[in-house]
């Protein structure tokens, strides 16, 4: 990326683009999108307190009907319930043609900046959970390269032979 992409809070009109990013990155099947959409809508209408969706838009591109922004990346984070100032990055995706070009790093930096700006009384740790399968090897390498430590593996979490891998990073002011 050229560092000129804008990151802003998601709005209602971004829903279709956010769903498309989930599907094109093979993070969810079409049949699994209901909970995803519920989380998106719940954060926007503030039913889910403290949940934040951010989108990266390409200022040079336009969306389908030429009036909305072209969304090329998305991040979803929320406080971890029952934990002391721990946040979970539940979802991070960028357009596949932008993989390896800095868009994901820019989103991570934005999320970390939001949490740092919130202060130590709000955010202490950011965690990310992903799969142990080969399909997610690049995701695991991505988080390691951005200073996340592999903290834990929970065997067979997502299914037989598919472990949950938990990454951890301190939020420092």
- The whole-number pLDDT of residue 1 equals 40
Q: How many domains are contained in the chain? A: 1
The token pair at 158 is 């997502």
For residues 136 and 70, what is the distance between their CA atoms, to the nearest angstrom? 26
Q: Is residue 119 one of the residues assigned to a domain?
A: yes
CATH code, domain with 16: 3.40.630.30
Q: Residue 83: which residues within 8 A CB-CB, separation 6 or more?
A: none
For residues 67 and 80, what is the distance between their CA atoms, to the nearest angstrom? 36
- The whole-number pLDDT of residue 173 equals 66
| Phi-psi map region of 157: left, alpha, beta (phi>0 left; psi -120 to 50 alpha) | alpha
**Single pTM value for the model:** 0.89
Residue 111: domain span = 6-170
Cβ–Cβ < 8 Å for 13, 68: yes
- The whole-number pLDDT of residue 68 equals 64
Q: Is residue 104 one of the residues assigned to a domain?
A: yes
pLDDT tens track, the chain, 173 positions? 444 679 999 999 999 999 999 888 887 777 778 888 889 999 999 888 899 999 999 866 655 555 567 899 999 999 999 999 999 999 999 998 888 889 999 999 999 999 999 999 999 999 999 999 999 999 999 999 999 999 999 999 999 999 999 999 999 86
- The whole-number pLDDT of residue 31 equals 74
Q: Is residue 1 one of the residues assigned to a domain?
A: no
- The whole-number pLDDT of residue 47 equals 87
Q: Is residue 101 one of the residues assigned to a domain?
A: yes
Q: Is residue 88 one of the residues assigned to a domain?
A: yes
What pairs with residue 87 in β-bridges?
79, 126
Q: Is residue 16 one of the residues assigned to a domain?
A: yes
């Amino acid at each position: 990326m050229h560092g000129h992409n804008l990151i802003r809070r998601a709005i209602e009109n971004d829903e279709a683009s956010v769903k498309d990013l989930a599907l094109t990155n093979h993070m969810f099947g079409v049949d699994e999108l209901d909970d995803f959409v519920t989380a998106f809508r719940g954060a926007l209408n503030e039913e889910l307190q403290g949940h934040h969706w951010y989108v990266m838009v390409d200022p040079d591109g336009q969306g389908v009907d030429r009036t909305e922004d072209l969304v090329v990346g998305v991040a979803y984070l929320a406080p971890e319930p029952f934990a002391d100032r721990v946040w979970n990055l539940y979802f991070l995706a960028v357009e596949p043609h932008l993989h390896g070009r800095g868009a994901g790093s820019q989103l991570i930096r934005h999320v970390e900046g939001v949490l740092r700006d919130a202060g130590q009384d709000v955010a202490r740790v950011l965690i990310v959970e992903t799969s142990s399968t080969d399909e997610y090897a690049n995701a695991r390498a991505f988080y390691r390269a951005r200073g996340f430590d592999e903290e834990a593996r929970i065997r067979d979490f997502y299914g037989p032979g598919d472990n949950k891998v938990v990454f951890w990073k301190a939020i420092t002011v």
